Every structure is written in C-alpha cells, then in structure tokens.
C-alpha cells in the first residue's frame, strides 16, 4: 500500500503541477494585459491561486516521496494537497485526477500498517 501511495502521490503532484502552471499563468496574464470583458476576468483571490499552484503539487510530491518511510506524515501531506487543490481550483475536468490521486494516496498511506513486502 505504501508503494501505491508513493505512485499516486507522485502522479497526482505532477498532474497538479500542470494545472498549477496554467492557473498561475492565467492570473499573471490577466494582471499583465487586463481583463477582457465577457471573455477573461481575474479570479476572486489571485494570491490564493498563486500559492496553491505552487504549494499543493509540492505537498503531493513530497508526501508521495515520504510514503514508504514515513507513511503517516506522507499521508497527511497528500491529504493537505488534495484539500488545497479542491479549495483553490474546485473540482472539475482538469482537477479531478490530481485531487483524487493525492487524496487516495493519502488514505492508502495512512492505512498502511506495516512496510510493504520487498
């Protein structure tokens, strides 16, 4: 279960990084060029989007990397990542996979009782 948590955390974090790149880029684009009425407007809280674009994927990757040696800490980090992505970006077409992968990886890491067999 720890190996599955590791894999899910890494994949969820990488997909979350892609979502984060586009979200951060969108916020910066609107700051730079301004809003385009009826086409592109600024988000309600740009600072939250910028922080979650960097922080949530890093938490998922770090939690996945820790899942084998420190399963409890890694699981908590992955669950925090899933919650952060859900809070900042919502649950949609592009965010459902990183949120679910990080969340499931966190649950698997928390429920792992003993190290995986070699």
Give the integer Cα–Cα distance in Å for 60 and 69.
15
In contact, 65 and 74? CB cutoff 8 Å: yes
Per residue in 78-93, pLDDT tens? 999 999 999 999 999 9
Question: In this predicted structure, what is the pLDDT of residue 115?
Answer: 67
Give the integer Cα–Cα distance in Å for 102 and 62.
11
User: What pTM was computed for the model?
Assistant: 0.91
Q: How confident is the model at residue 118 (pLDDT cuts 50, 70, 90)?
A: low
Phi, psi of 36 (to 5 degrees): -115, 110
Per residue in 38-78, pLDDT tens? 888 998 999 999 999 999 999 999 999 999 999 999 999 99
Cα of 43 vs its chain's centroid, Å:
19
Give the integer Cα–Cα distance in Å for 44 and 64.
31
Exposed e or buried b per residue across 79-101, where buried means at least 16 C-beta atoms within 10 angstroms of its C-beta:
bbbbbbbbebbeeeeebeebbbb
Give percent above pLDDT 70 in the chain: 97
Model confidence at 113: pLDDT above 80: no
Q: Residues with Cβ < 8 Å from 94, sequence gap 6 or more? A: 19, 22
Question: In this predicted structure, what is the pLDDT of residue 117?
Answer: 58
């Amino acid at each position: 279960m720890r190996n599955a948590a590791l894999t899910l955390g890494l994949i969820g974090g990488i997909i979350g990084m892609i979502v984060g790149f586009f979200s951060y880029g969108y916020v910066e684009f609107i700051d730079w060029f301004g809003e385009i009425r009826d086409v592109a407007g600024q988000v309600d809280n740009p600072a939250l989007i910028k922080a979650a674009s960097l922080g949530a994927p890093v938490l998922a990757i770090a939690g996945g990397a820790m899942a084998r040696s420190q399963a409890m800490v890694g699981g908590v980090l992955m669950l925090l990542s899933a919650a952060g992505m859900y809070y900042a970006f919502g649950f949609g077409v592009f965010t459902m996979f990183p949120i679910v992968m990080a969340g499931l990886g966190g649950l698997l890491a928390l429920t792992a009782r003993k190290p995986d067999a070699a």
